[in-house]
């Protein structure tokens, strides 16, 4: 089926570059570029088939002849408006159009990265770049006695309690009852920070091991502490952190693909930014 709009041929001149742009966009949308300069909207068999197929996808049945006519009429209407709009340059400076084109370009540029699978060497390289991010957490084993609010009186009283602990007294019942454990066995530093606040972990990492010491302040108040074990910072092993590496690698690959693509695009332009005086 072919509709002719019968309009005069008056292309040329100032709108030619819009036509070129339009043709390119049209090519992306339909897979078939219109003949440049041709004022002819061709609804070929392939187009009709595609319209019908999309209808079927949406409505789970083939369109009846009336509906198909409707689709085609609409298609032509869209084409006519679209081309005229391009001729008039209405796409220019339209933020919605620009954002849409940009998103399509990005999706095209990043689709390969999305499907890619990293090699062990690539993961190892990522690991070597920022080992701290993947390093096993320092684990802390310690006991504490909670003394309540951090006040001058509390600090004074702490000295007496500390003396009793160092003298071999059992820590049980010496402090105030709190709904967190009195001793921790190999807990990751971040968990300890979550329970006591960040500053407390610093104190645990520098306290002399094996003896009661303090008072040490936390987000909860004052504590006496006895560190019994502390793991040393260790090198992360690929096998232990593969999933985290893969997650990061993928996210990074997408970012890189997008940036690379943009850099390539941009290298074809001279960008002049005129700063206001």
Spatial separation of the C-alpha atoms in residues 233 and 103, rounded to whole Å: 43
Spatial separation of the C-alpha atoms in residues 107 and 254, rounded to whole Å: 10
**Alpha-carbon torsion, ordered 255, 101, 45, 83, to 10 deg:** -170
**Least Cβ distance, residue 85 to another protein (angstroms):** 13
With CA atoms as reference, report the closest residue to 118 among 258, 256, 235.
256
* Position among 58, 206, 267, 275 found at the interface with another protein (CB under 8 A): 58
* Position among 33, 37, 197, 209 found at the interface with another protein (CB under 8 A): 197
Does position 246 interact with another protein (CB under 8 A)? The reply is yes
With CA atoms as reference, report the closest residue to 119 among 251, 252, 256, 246.
246
* Position among 38, 69, 78, 156 found at the interface with another protein (CB under 8 A): 78
* 37-41 CB contacts, 8 Å cutoff, 24+ apart: 37/11, 39/5, 39/7, 39/9, 39/11, 40/4, 40/5, 41/3, 41/5, 41/76, 41/79, 41/80, 41/83
Spatial separation of the C-alpha atoms in residues 184 and 142, rounded to whole Å: 5
Inter-CA distances, 241 with 47, 219, 233, 245, Å: 50, 31, 15, 6
Does position 180 interact with another protein (CB under 8 A)? The reply is yes
Does position 277 interact with another protein (CB under 8 A)? The reply is no
Does position 60 interact with another protein (CB under 8 A)? The reply is yes
Unique residue bearing structure tokens 């390289």 = 125
**Least Cβ distance, residue 104 to another protein (angstroms):** 6
How big is the CA angle at 252 (ends 250 and 254), to the nearest 5 degrees?
Answer: 70
Does position 96 interact with another protein (CB under 8 A)? The reply is yes
* Position among 48, 80, 244, 253 found at the interface with another protein (CB under 8 A): 244
Does position 243 interact with another protein (CB under 8 A)? The reply is yes
Are 18 and 89 spatial neighbours (Cβ–Cβ below 8 Å)?
yes
Does position 37 interact with another protein (CB under 8 A)? The reply is no
Does position 195 interact with another protein (CB under 8 A)? The reply is yes
Does position 217 interact with another protein (CB under 8 A)? The reply is no
Does position 1 interact with another protein (CB under 8 A)? The reply is no
Does position 188 interact with another protein (CB under 8 A)? The reply is yes
Does position 237 interact with another protein (CB under 8 A)? The reply is no
Tell me which residues touch another protein (CB under 8 A): 28-29, 31, 50, 54-55, 57-60, 70-71, 74-75, 78, 96, 100, 104, 107-108, 111-112, 114-115, 117, 146, 148-149, 172-173, 176-181, 188, 190-191, 193-197, 218-221, 240, 242-244, 246-247, 250-251
């Amino acid at each position: 089926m072919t509709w002719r709009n019968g309009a005069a041929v008056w292309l040329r001149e100032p709108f030619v570059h819009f036509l070129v742009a339009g043709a390119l966009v049209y090519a992306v949308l339909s897979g078939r570029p219109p003949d440049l300069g041709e004022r002819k909207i061709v609804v070929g068999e392939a187009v009709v088939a595609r319209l019908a197929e999309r209808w079927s996808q949406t409505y789970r049945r083939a369109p009846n002849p009336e509906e198909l006519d409707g689709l085609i009429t609409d298609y032509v209407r869209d084409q006519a408006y679209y081309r005229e709009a391009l001729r008039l340059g209405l796409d220019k400076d339209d933020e919605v159009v620009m954002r849409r084109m940009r998103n399509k370009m990005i999706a095209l540029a990043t689709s390969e990265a999305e499907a890619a699978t990293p090699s062990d060497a690539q993961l190892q390289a990522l690991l070597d770049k920022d080992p701290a991010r993947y390093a096993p957490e320092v684990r802390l084993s310690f006991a504490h006695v909670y003394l309540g609010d951090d006040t001058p009186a509390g600090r004074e009283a702490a000295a007496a309690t500390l003396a009793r602990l160092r003298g071999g007294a059992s820590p049980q019942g010496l402090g105030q009852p709190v709904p967190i454990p009195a001793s921790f066995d190999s807990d990751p530093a971040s968990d300890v920070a979550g329970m006591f606040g960040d500053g407390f972990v610093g104190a645990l990492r520098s306290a002399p091991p094996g003896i009661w010491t303090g008072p040490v302040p936390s987000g909860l108040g004052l504590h006496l502490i006895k560190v019994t074990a502390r793991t040393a910072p260790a090198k992360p092993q690929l096998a232990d952190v593969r999933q985290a590496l893969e997650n990061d690698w993928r996210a990074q690959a997408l970012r890189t693909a997008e940036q690379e693509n943009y850099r390539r695009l941009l290298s074809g332009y001279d960008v002049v930014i005129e700063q206001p005086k």
